[in-house]
């Protein structure tokens, strides 16, 4: 559902932008998933700090991908 929303938002700027928005979302999800797996393996579970780190990691990954495609 979120991927469809990102693609729809990107469609306002063209098909390439829709693809780029979707790729940014997928990169954010992948980065968060990798961090989550690492934290569960190292800590044996998650805490509130881990959830905060996941949110920040996902946001940063999405912004990096978006910035690389802008221009």
34 phi and psi angles, rounded to 5 deg: -65, -45
Query: Measuring CA to CA, how many Å separate 34 from each of 43, 48, 56, 64?
Result: 14, 17, 13, 17
pLDDT at 70: 60
pLDDT at 21: 81
To which residue do tokens 């790729």 refer?
Answer: 23
For the stretch 41-51, pLDDT in tens is 999 999 999 99
Can you give the residue range of the structural domain that contains 47?
A: 2-69
pLDDT at 71: 52
| End-to-end CA, the chain | 27
Least confident of 8-12, 39-43, 45-49, 58-62: 8-12
Evaluate if residue 61 carries a pLDDT over 80. Answer: yes
Domain count of the fold of the chain: 1
């Amino acid at each position: 559902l979120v991927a469809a929303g990102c693609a729809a938002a990107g469609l306002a700027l063209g098909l390439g932008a829709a693809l780029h928005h979707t790729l940014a979302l997928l990169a954010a999800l992948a980065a968060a998933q990798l961090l989550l797996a690492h934290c569960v393996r190292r800590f044996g579970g998650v805490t509130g700090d881990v959830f905060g780190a996941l949110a920040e990691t996902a946001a940063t990954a999405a912004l990096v991908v978006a910035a690389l495609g802008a221009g």
